[in-house]
Structure 1
Amino acid sequence: MNRLFTLSITALLILTTGAFAQKSPVKKAGVAKPKTPMVTTGATDGKTVYLQNCLTCHQADGGGVPNMNPPLIKTDYVLGDKTRLIKIVLNGFNDRVEIEGEMYNNVMPSLNHLTDKQIADVLTYVRSNFGNKASAVSATEVKKLRGK
């Protein structure tokens, strides 16, 4: 019995000291691989701007709110003249307007606190999402209109 006790204690010591445990592979010293930076497109950045500045009024699906905030889905305001669209974002909008047969009357505040790139990105996002297929807006186009 004494021998059984000794064997049990020995086995316990071996297991707890890791005598039979596998050793971890040794890490070789070398140059670490650089992490690939996350590349974002204007539309991706534009989605972030949209979620932070436009979502409340124009909704997650771009459908707007009837009689208050117009939809951004396949309307002439979104798909048409980029200059008009940029000016609305820069200067806000305070007119009663008919869009796609519905009247809208809510004030849109100016978003001129956004950078030219942010405005270009959000408009590119809107013009290429919600079923829309229109050309991108560039920061240069925004900059040109901001100065006027």
Structure 2
Amino acid sequence: MTDPKENAMIEVDHRIGIMLYGSRGDIQPGVCLALELQARGARPVVAVPPNLVDFATSVGVQSVLPLGLDTHTAWSSDEANTARSRNPIAKIRFALATVRAGFRAFDDALAELFLDEDAPMSGVDALVVSPLGQDRALVLSQKLGIPLTVLR
């Protein structure tokens, strides 16, 4: 009989795309998953907001790419702070414009990362995504014919 500990770390050689969007708290579980996948021999390629690329690489994720807008600056810049201090209609307009700009940047980045001719995330075997990107990831995974998992 084999020792179960011998099979505890099954090594895999898969390229896993991990798309994470939001604040550090939103992306941290996916970063931990990427580290564990690396330890098991997989090759995760992680896409995070530009302001969190340094965080992901600093903890040891080997392949990290920027995705969409800087999520911190979008809501905490001087412009954002000024807009939030205005009347309610100005706040709503700012929020809608920011969300729309974020979706545009996110969609543009997805095309560059997955669909362009030399896309750095093309050819992944599976896609893991945080909840903030699951609607777009579903369409993407169907187009690419790969499985999708949403982190919860």
Same-fold call, TM > 0.5? no
Instruction: Give the TM-score normalised by structure 1.
Output: 0.29
Instruction: Give the TM-score normalised by structure 2.
Output: 0.29
Rg larger in structure: 1
From the two aligned structures, give the one with the greater strand fraction. 2
